[in-house]
Structure 1
Amino acid sequence: MKLSSRAVFLVAVIFLGTISKSLAIPIFTPTPEKEVTSTRQQAIAFIDGINKLEPSAYWPNIKPALFLQNLKTTIHEPISIYPGNGTNFCGYGALSYLFLQDDPLGYAKLLLELYKEGKASFANVVFTPSEAIKKEAGRLRYKGILDIHPAEQMWFLSLADHYKGYLNIFNRNYNPGDEDRFWASVNFAKFNRMVRSLLQYKIKATGSDLIRPHITDPYEFISDRLQTGKVVLFINNRIVHKKNHVKIKVALPTHFIVVEKISRQDDLITLVYWDYGGRTLLQLSPAFLRRIIFGITYCTKKEQHAD
């Protein structure tokens, strides 16, 4: 999380302190059941059947050929989805990685609708990006591979424009550069709310933005849940990797990762997870694992009932 002002940060922490207890208790909001979600093969067949896109009247700075190639690459290789260097898009990236596993065909159709119509609806969520967002998508620069991924630029900007949490109260309207600021920030409760509203998952979450979850053995907790679902961790990434976009010097969570595998041999834990367009392998002690985790989101598929 990149913070533009120490004063703003302190106000945010004070405000957070007043609601940390409520954040530590997940709020389960029922969402309407969707149709049975899709397979990767269905999504590939659909997207490979599209050979050309016309320019969008709503996204003037997105090149159609580059948009289509980006979307095809993402459907074929979901691991490649990339939030960008220096941005606060990591929460939207983790959400999208889950989306591409839950309903890749729905993801492709949603992004195409958003591109063609300038707005889109999915699972009772209606995205109506602001004019500032529509002008900016396709123009982000110095964000690594995200620079040439206009579909992901459009999607991440639209997500940040639509979903708001308490970290966004200081900056609610997009201005150029806000992808690096509070405008794009995702706190733990906001991330869980996005997953519940868009995806065909039941989720249980433990932890908060300030207080670590009360779990005796995080390894066992994560390992058990990986047997039946997906696990997303909200971590203090600054003490794991030093990244240029992390400026804060306090022990707070800043990053969302999606766990792929976890194993333990003696006192060494090996963690494999999605992070910034690829898989990362990290070896750490049980104490260090406990130290970096502030939130754990456990996602399981909703049961589908035949008519």
Structure 2
Amino acid sequence: MFLIHEKSTAGNLLSEINSTKKEALDFIDKIDQTKENSLWPNVKSKLFYDNLKLNLEKPLSFYPGRSTNFCSYGALSYLVMEKDPLGYVKFMNELYEKGEAIFNNNHFKPSDAVMNAAGTLKFKGVLDIRHAEQMWFLVLADKFKGYLNFFDKKFNEGDENSFWAATNLGKFDRMVNKMCGVHVKAVGSDLIKPWVKDDYSYLSKRIDSNTVSLYINNRIIHKKNHDKIKFSIPTHFIILRQIRKDGDMITLRYWDYGGETEMQITSRTLKKIIFGIITIDK
């Protein structure tokens, strides 16, 4: 049930999956962006295609939404846009037009409930008007399942905030492997922290040649006194962009929720918050 210590996911490696932002923008410029589609009754074509353009022009702008359980799909979006922006926009356009599509040999045919929900999510910040991202996150959550979703597999109104959309470490690894076609190596688990002697050394050795995602207890981000955190569980996926150390203070620069953030913490606190370290081939 839990991913413990170390696991590699390497099936279906497709190293040829690579495209550029220019190719993706050229493709979207040739699309009729005014067409409405009854398959997605609440998705507005202008908001949908404007959102796709934003995703291509500013891929770091992906925003999983306030109070949702979409953070893992946000981290996955970062990786997909690095690897295959053309594949992403082709997939989204076909999904919008036909109600089903294939991405990297993964067939997506979302439920009627999901198709009706896309475009209706409210009070989620800028996600409210990003209809492509609403569709993308909902469809990913509908497709990929882990043990956290066992008792809530069918979408009902409000499930973007519930266990229906939740992601554990093993599920995240599988999603990255299947969607990006890359080798994934993870240490840690959903309950037990990584068996790594020095977290800073482990991360700093890997960040230059790999993309690194962290599975963390994100309550630390909102605590004023980091060292007073007692009980904790992992709740959030981020993309580590930079890490540096000055004495015992470690500065993390990471991506989540549509932008980059810097956080300075002690080595002790770093060990407290990390439950999973996911190393992904570039």
1:165-204 mapped onto 2 (5 Å cutoff):
165-204=146-185
Residue in structure 2 matched with residue 26 of structure 1 by the alignment = 7
C-alpha distance in structure 2 between counterparts of 1:23 and 1:216, whole Å: 16
C-alpha distance in structure 1 between counterparts of 2:101 and 2:67, whole Å: 28
C-alpha distance in structure 2 between counterparts of 1:29 and 1:226, whole Å: 19
For residues 10-60 of structure 1, what are the alpha-carbon distances to aligned partners after superposition, in whole Å with 9 as ceiling and x for unaligned? xxxxxxxxx33x544425351153634112222233234446231113101
Moved over 4 A (4+): none
For residues 149-202 of structure 1, what are the alpha-carbon distances to aligned partners after superposition, in whole Å with 9 as ceiling and x for unaligned? 010100100011011100001111000000000000000000000001110321
Residue in structure 1 matched with residue 227 of structure 2 by the alignment = none
**Given the alignment, which residue of 132, 146, 151 partners 1:151?**
132
Residue in structure 2 matched with residue 212 of structure 1 by the alignment = 193
- Counterpart residue type for residue 287 of structure 1: R
Structure 1, unpaired ranges of 5+: 1-18, 243-248, 302-307
C-alpha distance in structure 2 between counterparts of 1:252 and 1:113, whole Å: 38
Q: Which stretch shows the higher mean deviation, 40-49 or 249-258?
A: 40-49
CA RMSD of aligned residues (A): 1.6
C-alpha distance in structure 2 between counterparts of 1:36 and 1:176, whole Å: 35
**Given the alignment, which residue of 75, 89, 92 partners 1:108?**
89
Structure 2, unpaired ranges of 5+: 224-229
**Given the alignment, which residue of 57, 68, 76 partners 1:76?**
57
TM-score (structure 1 length as normaliser): 0.86
Residue in structure 1 matched with residue 240 of structure 2 by the alignment = 259
Q: CA deviation at 1:77?
A: 0.2
C-alpha distance in structure 2 between counterparts of 1:209 and 1:215, whole Å: 15
C-alpha distance in structure 2 between counterparts of 1:122 and 1:219, whole Å: 35
Q: Which stretch shows the higher mean deviation, 23-32 or 111-120?
A: 23-32
User: Aligned with 1:213: secondary structure?
Assistant: coil
Q: CA deviation at 1:83?
A: 0.2
Check whether the contact 1:48–1:72 (CA below 8 A) recurs between aligned residues: no
- Counterpart residue type for residue 137 of structure 1: A
Residue in structure 2 matched with residue 300 of structure 1 by the alignment = 281
Check whether the contact 1:34–1:123 (CA below 8 A) recurs between aligned residues: no
C-alpha distance in structure 2 between counterparts of 1:28 and 1:200, whole Å: 10
Q: Which stretch shows the higher mean deviation, 27-36 or 189-198?
A: 27-36
Structure 2 residue 270 is the aligned partner of structure 1 residue 289:
yes
C-alpha distance in structure 1 between counterparts of 2:17 and 2:65, whole Å: 31
Residue in structure 2 matched with residue 3 of structure 1 by the alignment = none
Q: 1:214 to 1:32 in 2, by over 3 A?
A: closer
User: Aligned with 2:261: secondary structure?
Assistant: strand
TM-score (structure 2 length as normaliser): 0.94
